[in-house]
Amino acid sequence: MVRYQQDLQAKLRQRFRKTMTATDGSASYEVRQAVEWIEGQAVLRAILASAALTEPDLDADAFHQSFDGMRGFLTWPSRTEDGRATLVWDLMKRLAAADTSGNGEDLSLHYGSGVGFSERSPTVMWRMFAEQVIQPLIDFLDERVGDQSSVLFVMERYVHIVERFDRAQLYAAFEADKPNGEEVYNRNLQRFLFQDSGYVTHAKARSASGEADLGGELDTDDPLICEGKLFDSRGKTYLARGVHQVIKYAHDYNKSVAYLVVFNMTDKLLQFPTDGSAGDWPPYVELAGVRVYFVGVRAFPGPTASRPERPPQ
C-alpha cells in the first residue's frame, strides 16, 4: 500500500514533467494526456472531488476568462489550496476538451501577453504558464496522496489486522462489557491509528454538535473526523445516525471528509451505498458538502477474512 502511494506520486511528477517540457505545438496534447491519466486514478479523482466541495461558489468561467491579457500577473480568486486546485483542474479539462475537438486553446499566450512578454517564444511562455498555473495542482495532489489518501491506507490495514488476528479477542472483550461494547472497538481503533501512523485521536472529543467517538488531531489545524459504530440488531437506522453525526462534526471543524468505521456484529455481509465507481474501496456518499467514507469491518467471530469487506454494490 505504501509502495502504491509512492508509485502514484512518482507517476504524477513524471506526468507533470512531460507537460512542463512540452513544446508550443504539443502542449495541449500533453495536457489532455495528463487529464485522461488523472481521471483514471481513483485516488486522485477522490481528492479532486473532495477539494471541489471546499469552495463550491468559485466562478470557474470568470477565472478562465481572466487570462485574456493577464500579462503574467496571476490573481487567484480562491481562498484555499483546495479551491485553487479546483480552478486549475477546471482549466486543464477545458484545455483537454479543446484539444479533443481540434480547437486547441493556448492560455499561455493570453497569460503572457502584454508589455515585457512579446519577445518570449510561445514555448517559453507555455513553460512559464505550466510552472505558475499547473504546478500548484500537481503539488496539491502530490501532498494529498501522501496525507489524505494515507488515511485510507491506514484504515485498510486496520481492517486486515482486526479480521485476521484480533476479531475473536475483541469480540470476547465486547461480550464481557456489552453496556460499553462500542467503546471496546473504538478504543482499539484509536490505539491503532496512533501506533500505526501517529494519528492523535481523542475519545469523546467535544464539538458544537455533541461528542464524537473519535476525532483525530482536533486540537490542530487539520482534524481527522472518524467515528466507529456497531452494526447489530439496531440496524440501518443506527448507522444513519452515525452518518449524520460525522457530517455534523465535519461542519463543526470545517472539514469536507469524514470516516465512519462500521463494525459488523452479524454474520451477514454489509452492502453500503456509494456515490463512487463500482469496485472502488471504500464506498462513500457525499451529503451536505461532506464525503463520508464507509469502512466495513467483519467483527463477528467466524472464518478468517482474506481481505477487507468490500460488498457488491
Task: List pLDDT tens digits, range 26-47.
Answer: 888 899 999 999 998 877 887 8
Whole-number average pLDDT of the chain: 82
The residue assigned the cell 472531488 is 49
Question: Left (φ > 0), alpha (ψ -120 to 50) or beta: where does 277 sit?
Answer: beta
- Name the pLDDT band for 209 (thresholds 50, 70, 90): low
| Amino acid (one-letter) located at 113 | S
Contact 257, 268 (CB under 8 A): no
Most confident range, picked from 54-63, 72-81, 106-115, 221-230: 54-63
Residue 41 to residues 12, 37, 62, 101, 285: CA-CA distances in angstroms?
10, 7, 28, 24, 19
Question: Which sequence spans correspond to the domains of the chain?
Answer: 2-145, 148-298
Give the pLDDT of residue 202: 44
pLDDT per position as a tens digit, 132-188: 899 999 999 998 887 656 788 788 889 999 999 999 999 999 999 999 999 999 999
Query: 33 with 20: CB under 8 angstroms?
Result: no
**4: confidence class by pLDDT, cuts 50, 70, 90:** low
> In the block, which residue shows the cell 505545438?
25
Q: 221 or 121: which carries more pLDDT confidence?
A: 121
Residue type at 67 in one-letter notation = F
Going by C-alpha positions, the residue among 190, 192, 185, 198 that lies closest to residue 226 is: 190
Residue 61: band (very low, low, confident or very high) from pLDDT cuts 50, 70, 90: very high
